[in-house]
Chains A and B, each alone.
Chain A
């Protein structure tokens, strides 16, 4: 598995060095095929194979190393690049966009978390609809627990009084893939990275939900799940930067109750105890994941508004790279016409 993940690049002609196509052909004949092979092979042996001098080989090696190592960039260029590059994807949900200033940030991973039934899927569906509607671009929805409902999308759009033609056009821009294991997910992302899977005009990728896949590895002693999660994170980071898209991951929260037996100071009855419970909520997926998303939104269901089957969701920014946003919150409403 590992070997497959580390991409081995084939040796090609490097400009300004003695590595001409002819020399490379000779190297291939001696089974030196990838760049890694070339870097690892003994210099003298290479010199013999290529019929080049040792300094020429060393020069070629240095060139390759500079070409493939991480680039150096100076501070002002970097700031410029970030300023120009920061774009947001409008979620189309007014309160949410106001809270986040513009919308869901592109080029990074965003997390929606909340306990079961708090409206994570509903919000994700709505964001997918709005993105396809406003930007005329494509949304890829990765469904890992059969939660996607095209009927629900059609009903929301119908309620918002879109014509049949418009509904069909919007829905044709929402693409869905059912994924059941972490390996399949990593494989899909790998293909997206390599360009084997091309989705035109992709603007947003939603994964609903990661724990459904990751929990399949719970209780096993090997760290297979963690290594797959790591590959997934690396691919996602690469893809969202390269394709300039936003990635939304749905995570869940679980509640744990601590029972504290506290001594109640009572003069008459000194042995009285009072039970007190404290409920804690944890985001799932372990400690590694906690700092991966640059924006974490917590969803919480609030008291039902009795009229017309509507209910409310409170959204809080749990974590953001921009600390101004932290602890901001807004209220959304879920009903027949979707999340507004």
Chain B
């Protein structure tokens, strides 16, 4: 049963530094995330109030994962697990086409077929806790069958757990799923992005509006990105890296255009 491996930090450093990242198409955002985007093998949580651009960011990442090899992209596929009907195919098509056209502009020899590009997104709608758990159980098989999937998005992680489960059971279940997911992410070198909602906890020190799922969950995630759209900035939005194991807590400004996520 000795299935653990012991690595030295030098080995891990070599591995970490040559792992590619999925760019967000906003240099500011890429900069604060610390690795030039969402790094493969990592787990990132995106937080924010409704309408702050969480789903938009996920759609952009699903498009970015397709950047061709000539532009040192991943040329890979994405898996989108939708638990709350957040995904809109027309909007995704818009962002995907815009992103790939941008690639073509930089590298004219790159040709793409819109339909083929759309085929490279795998979509699962997992409504309700039973479907969600079943889907999480199958993820390892799915990733093994689809080795080109390099990004898994769960939008949102909170929604399946809204009702029908006690808080203790929820935490236990989530921690088990996270351990499995992280093992898959690290072994298969897949990036995982989780969308979380915000909730209100009255009387809490350090602000009453916090991410859902409690303090235990906050401890489990090692990269947390908070999005907001303050009205005084007009159309621009802000992203704050709330927590990270290797980058300082910085703020970045970005905007959401018709083409997707861009610098503002």
Binding site for B on A (CB under 8 A): 115-117, 121-122, 140, 144-155, 168, 171-181, 183-184, 187-188, 191, 196-197, 199, 209, 211-213, 215-220, 252-255, 257, 259, 275, 277-279, 284, 304, 309, 311, 335-336
Contacts and interface: CB of A to CB of B under 8 A. Distances in A.
B216 interface: yes
Specify which of B1, B10, B219 lies most central, judged by the most chain A CB atoms within 10 Å of its CB: B219
A184 B186 CA distance: 17
30 contacts: A115-B218, A116-B219, A117-B224, A122-B245, A145-B220, A145-B222, A146-B43, A146-B185, A146-B222, A151-B246, A154-B13, A171-B8, A172-B8, A175-B8, A177-B6, A178-B183, A180-B182, A180-B183, A183-B1, A187-B2, A212-B219, A212-B220, A213-B179, A218-B169, A219-B171, A219-B173, A220-B169, A252-B215, A254-B216, A277-B204
B113 interface: no
Contacts of B249: 304, 309, 311
Contacts of A116: 215, 218-219, 243
Contacts of A304: 249
Interface of B: 1-10, 12-13, 15-17, 42-43, 166, 168-173, 175-176, 178-180, 182-183, 185-186, 201-205, 214-216, 218-220, 222, 224, 242-243, 245-246, 248-250
* Those 5 A-B pairs whose CB atoms lie nearest each other, nearest first: A277-B203, A219-B169, A116-B218, A218-B172, A150-B13
Contacts of B2: 187, 191, 196-197
Nearest to B192: A146
A215 B4 contact: no
B201 A171 contact: no
Given A176-B7, A187-B4, A257-B204, A211 B219 contact: yes
B17 A177 contact: no
B210 to A, nearest CB: 9
Nearest to B169: A219
Nearest to B171: A218
Given A215-B171, A219-B171, A152 B245 contact: yes
A196 to B, nearest CB: 8
B4 A219 contact: no
Given A149-B16, A177-B4, A279-B205, A212 B175 contact: yes
Nearest to B217: A116
Given A116-B219, A253-B215, A178 B186 contact: yes
A174 B13 CA distance: 11
A170 B83 CA distance: 45
Nearest to A4: B1
Main secondary structure on A side of the interface with B: mixed
Given A187-B2, A213-B179, A252-B219, 19 more contacts: A121-B245, A146-B43, A146-B186, A149-B16, A150-B10, A151-B246, A172-B8, A176-B9, A187-B1, A191-B2, A212-B220, A215-B171, A215-B172, A216-B172, A216-B175, A219-B169, A220-B169, A257-B202, A257-B204
A254 B214 contact: yes
Contacts of B246: 149, 151-152, 155
Contacts of A180: 179-180, 182-183
B3 A184 contact: yes
A117 B218 contact: yes
A159 to B, nearest CB: 12
A217 B173 CA distance: 8
A259 B202 contact: yes
B166 A219 contact: yes
Contacts of A278: 203
Specify which of A168, A218, A253 lies most central, judged by the most chain B CB atoms within 10 Å of its CB: A218
Contact of A255 (B215, B220, B224): B215
A173 B183 CA distance: 24
B175 A147 contact: no
Nearest to A199: B6
A171 B10 contact: yes
Given A151-B13, A309-B250, A184 B4 contact: yes
Contact of B203 (A179, A196, A279, A309): A279
Nearest to A117: B243
A257 B12 contact: no
A219 B172 contact: yes
Nearest to A125: B245
B4 A279 contact: no
Given A216-B176, A252-B215, A188 B17 contact: no
Contact of A149 (B171, B245, B248): B245
Contacts of A145: 178, 182, 220, 222
Contacts of B224: 117
A140 B8 CA distance: 9
Given A177-B5, A178-B186, A309-B250, A151 B16 contact: yes
